[in-house]
Structure 1
């Protein structure tokens, strides 16, 4: 890819203490917002810094417990995005079109591709996740140079370990061949997601449903929800927008769908029960 280097470089606004990065990403978000409103483009970062080989990059806020220490804070791209919908005068804008445009823009960088592939941000559809995984794969070599902290304190990850931790659901749903390397499985998953039909998505979703159900204790109608026939029938009733939301088979999206089904079953049962007389009460048909 033109302009790609073998070393990982991050914008200077992602390096420093937590407070420093918070301030710099806010300023960068406002700068991006202003230019995008003028001409529909985004400015390039003013300074890129090379990440020394083996240095740790924080990829999730939960592991950022020493906030007074300078560090590479990749996850703070989310703070930048939170300010894309602001103006210097404080006026708010519809955030979603600009966020989508910004994602498309920075996925063409190593740091941007990794942020969007490892961060839970809507949409998590098959189409969008294919684009995110393909972007990471294009920058695989420079991204391999760093080590990453993600969700688990003290556990530094290689790039393969990070992607397995962040996108394990995608690997399980779309590339279950566990004998292959993570990189190869990601390539297969991205390819399958990119060309997936509705039926392909349903099969991937069904592979993930049992994992989603087993991860959540608060579902009240587990036996019904675990029935593949019920799942197929439920998926068949989804309108295109609702189906696209779950088409990637992301565990969090499937859980939201399962809880929706669970609640509707509870309401239906309560309605059915309410039509029958309680003990000691006469029945009126």
Structure 2
């Protein structure tokens, strides 16, 4: 399985291929694509996969960055698993259409980096999700054709400051975009077959305790439908990220709530993609 990541080493930022012993820097070989996002925009993901074959490791010491740190468009799907709507305890019926909201790259950090709890509010919560990366432009995409527009998969901890999603009546943007409150990574896995999504099981653990556990095929709005619906009103472009929805079991839904605190470790795992791990620290 080829894995492509953005990382820092020796005071510089690179993208490259992940191996069991370190990173293979690919960005120096592709100056026309300064970032992994640029490579995706140019349709060059397979070129990177090919270039990584038989190349030696260039960095054994490195730090993961958010996998597409300059992605300009990140769209998230909310309330998208069975029982998630009931978790809100507001008496509402299951919605006919999916809930959507934007997130910005500044709100995410990389694998093995801490999620940051701000001093203004301590209701930092986790949400384990699969994120898809668009690789082919499309508008009004049919659901049956939707997978043709995905180039890669990754994981997301869609960290949320819960109290701040209630500051306004109709939006959650301010609770969803605190700097480095969430993470995306560790890497991109090229999307090659439907089973990578249709058979995927997602699990979230906090300090080793299983909190979320479900299968993507149980989504209220499946990923094919997400792509079809979103592309109705906006042209999806290579490099766009769709964060597809979290199962029941986030910390806010416990009684009393179980929010994240400094020292906690959150792991999100999907077979065939990997494990996204983050600690928690207070903002300095």
TM-score bracket, normalised by the shorter chain, equals under 0.3
Larger radius of gyration, structure 1 or 2? Answer: 1
* Larger relative strand fraction: 2
Q: What's the TM-score, normalizing by structure 2?
A: 0.25
Q: What's the TM-score, normalizing by structure 1?
A: 0.25
* Larger relative helix fraction: 1
Q: Which has the higher contact order (CA 8 A, sep 6+)?
A: 2
